[in-house]
Structure 1
Amino acid sequence: MGSLFWWVIFPYVCLGVMFLGLLYRYAFRQLTWTAPSTEFFEKRWLRIGSNMLHYGIIVAFIGHVMGIIVPVEFYEAIGVGSELYHAGAFVGGGITGIVVIMGIVILLIRKTKVDPIRVQASFADFFTLFALLFVTASGTYLTIVYTLQHGAYQYGTTIGPWFRSLFTFQPEYEMMAGIPLLFQLHALLGFALFAMIPFTHLVHFVTVPLRYLGRAPQQYRSRSEYKR
């Protein structure tokens, strides 16, 4: 019963909360869809931390698609062997995880050290960043430390098929029973993060704001010639 709950019921509940929450927020609270800008109070560290976080998450998302959603048979068909596959995941995933962690830490420090930002920051702002930090840190640990200690884990033949089976509504939950506990925890944290999206500033990731990454920074001017 435990395996059925954690690897079938829990993922579907989290995805259901995410989709229904997004529909509700878009229909009734559309003006809260974007994250408010604090660039007026401080620009330098916002630019650094925000870019590291946003670019890093996009790369991490692509990496998860390549590692979990794309079957290993595809890589075998195009001549990518297991060693090259895991080497790419180790290097690319490790660097990306570190970049995202650094971006989150910079934004957390900024929220606590810059007085005007700290005053207006809500509990949800800090909770969101800490949730992202926890999920990213666990994934980075698995990518770097676990691999160095135990070797590359074959998640493409265990976690991947289970994840894809959820979307065919034939969940192969038995495949998750024997995987290492840390991988199980990371998967559950990921689904919990999905459920959080409609209720936090993470909601703007759903719209894939690619224009945001390339646009010029917003310009603010003060009547009192305020400079920081």
Structure 2
Amino acid sequence: MLNLWLWGILPYIVLTIFIGGHFYRYQKDQFGWSTKSSEFLEKKRLRIGSLLFHWGILFVFGGHVLGLMIPVQFYEWLGVIEHMYHIVAISFGLPAGVAAMIGAIVLTWRRISVKRIKATTSASDWLTLILLIAVIVTGLTATTLNVDSNGFDYRTTIAPWLRGLFIFQVQPELMAQVPVWFKIHILTTFSLYVAWPFTRLVHVFSFPLRYLRRSYVIYKRRIPDQAIKNKRVS
């Protein structure tokens, strides 16, 4: 029953909150749908931390898509054996995860050490940072413990379980033999998804498509009032 609850029922509860929460947030708080940038308060550490975190997360996300959403049979058809895939995944996944981790630490330390930023940091911001770091740490832990050349192949268990959720073919039995560190990583990710719609993470789904067809905004230098008066007198 615990296996069914964790891997057959809980994912749909999380998905419902994730999707429904975004619709609710957009209807109730459109003006708060932003990253609330603090760049004008401090730039140097923001630039370093943001670049490391975002690029790291992009590569991590891409690795998850390649490993979880693409069936193992496709790789076998291409001639990519399990050992080869495992080595490539570790070689790219670990550096990307480490980069994201360093970036998250820099951004967290920036919010703690810069008084002006700390004063403007909300409870949801702290929750976001804590959950992001927890997800990255558990992900790095699972990857590190799976470095062995005969490491666990999640493409035959976690991947089909995840894909099955989207087509309503629930297979919780696939998660029975999954190592505990992978399960902890997945459950931590669930926690992040539940909090996501109610934090600044909603900006991930903001696509400024209107900027592509919007007219240019023209800025003009402001002429001092005294200069205008002198011009009128002359």
Q: TM-score range by the shorter chain?
A: 0.7 to 0.9
Pairwise mapping of residues 207-222 of structure 1 onto structure 2 (< 5 A)?
Answer: 207=206
**1:122 matched to which residue of 2?**
122
CA distance in 2, matches of 1:205, 1:55: 14
Pairwise mapping of residues 49-128 of structure 1 onto structure 2 (< 5 A)?
Answer: 49-128=49-128
**Residues 149-158 or 72-81, more deviating:** 149-158
Pairwise mapping of residues 32-43 of structure 1 onto structure 2 (< 5 A)?
Answer: 32-43=32-43
Pairwise mapping of residues 1-228 of structure 1 onto structure 2 (< 5 A)?
Answer: 1-144=1-144, 146-148=145-147, 151-207=150-206
- Is the 8 Å Cα contact of residues 86 and 149 (structure 2) preserved in structure 1? no
Could you report, residue by residue, the CA deviation over 1:78-116 in whole angstroms, capped at 9, with x for unpaired residues? 121111111111011100110010000000110011110
Relative to structure 1, the CA distance from residue 208 to residue 63 in structure 2 (aligned partners, 3 Å threshold; closer, same or farther) is farther
CA root-mean-square deviation: 1.6
**Residues 55-64 or 108-117, more deviating:** 55-64
Gaps of 5+ in 1: 211-228
- Is the 8 Å Cα contact of residues 72 and 157 (structure 1) preserved in structure 2? yes
Q: What letter corresponds to residue 54 of structure 2 in structure 1?
A: H
Helix, strand or coil: the match of 2:40? Answer: coil
Could you report, residue by residue, the CA deviation over 1:17-63 in whole angstroms, capped at 9, with x for unpaired residues? 00001111122211111111111111010011111111221211111
CA distance in 2, matches of 1:129, 1:208: 23
- TM-score, normalised relative to structure 2: 0.85
Q: What letter corresponds to residue 189 of structure 1 in structure 2?
A: T
Helix, strand or coil: the match of 2:146? Answer: helix
Bigger radius of gyration, 1 or 2? 2
1:7 is displaced (CA, Å) by: 0.3
Could you report, residue by residue, the CA deviation over 1:132-182 in whole angstroms, capped at 9, with x for unpaired residues? 0111111111112x0235842110000001001101101111111121111
CA distance in 2, matches of 1:107, 1:208: 23
- TM-score, normalised relative to structure 1: 0.87
1:119 is displaced (CA, Å) by: 1.1
Q: What letter corresponds to residue 48 of structure 2 in structure 1?
A: I
- Is the 8 Å Cα contact of residues 34 and 204 (structure 1) preserved in structure 2? yes
- Is the 8 Å Cα contact of residues 147 and 153 (structure 1) preserved in structure 2? yes
- Is the 8 Å Cα contact of residues 89 and 143 (structure 1) preserved in structure 2? no
Q: Percent identity?
A: 40
- Is the 8 Å Cα contact of residues 112 and 118 (structure 2) preserved in structure 1? yes
CA distance in 2, matches of 1:170, 1:148: 31
Relative to structure 1, the CA distance from residue 195 to residue 149 in structure 2 (aligned partners, 3 Å threshold; closer, same or farther) is same
